[in-house]
Amino acid sequence: MEQNATVEKRFKTPIIIVSVLIPVAVAVLFSIKLKDFGIEVEPLSFLPPIYAGINAITAVLLVWAVAAIKKGNRKKHEKLMTAAIACSVVFLVMYVAYHLTSEATKYGGEGILRPIYFFILISHIALSVAIIPLVLFSYVRALSEQFDRHRKLAKITYPLWLYVAVTGVIVYLMISPYYAH
């Protein structure tokens, strides 16, 4: 058990670094466009529905993974969780690529939908930052067979990650009518 705790300690600093660097890099990249560097690239306007779909797939994988572990199928759970992490990485790459090539889309909704949209968007963004270390520490604890500690953290991680995945789809559906075509 002590050796397993050492694995987590070994990954602690890299997880913290990645957990800080990803949101900072994404925030910085929002102010940068490839055309600012003389790189002419067509806007990747086809990506938002794809990465919204990846968020939906992530949500399904998370629910499926929890169902698998509740049935005692650890191998299936591990594969599904690894797939969910892979989907999140693919989402991030596409999201950054889109924002490097396209202008930000302003939400045009009015009335009660406007504050609802911004509540969902702000909570989605805040939790998408918070979920990074939670997912990574949960994953390392599982890989290092610290299952009690993994389970405790996963009880927090799972609903937050599921919320981020589902609200990513909702944000897309709410803003999609305002994308420039």
The ranges assigned to domains in the chain are 21-178
| Measured distance CA(16)–CA(133) in Å, rounded | 7
CA 22 to chain centre: 11
| Contact criterion met (CB below 8 Å) for 45 and 180 | yes
Read off the tokens for 55.
């968020």
> pTM above the 0.85 mark?
yes
* Per-residue pLDDT tens digits of the chain, which is 181 residues long: 556 768 788 999 999 999 999 999 888 887 887 777 878 888 888 999 999 999 999 999 999 999 999 999 999 999 999 999 999 999 999 999 998 888 888 999 999 999 999 999 999 999 999 999 999 999 999 999 999 999 999 999 999 999 999 999 999 999 999 986 5
| Measured distance CA(102)–CA(100) in Å, rounded | 6
89 membership: H or E segment, kind and range: helix 74-101
Burial 73-93 (b: 16+ CB within 10 A, else e): eeeebbebbebbbebbeebbe
Read off the tokens for 70.
């509740």
| Measured distance CA(61)–CA(81) in Å, rounded | 7
| Contact criterion met (CB below 8 Å) for 162 and 59 | yes
Whole-number pLDDT of residue 42: 87
Q: Which residue has the tokens 């990803």?
A: 22
Whole-number pLDDT of residue 152: 97
Whole-number pLDDT of residue 32: 80
Whole-number pLDDT of residue 153: 97
The second-level CATH assignment, the architecture, of 21-178 is: Up-down Bundle (1.20)
Whole-number pLDDT of residue 49: 95
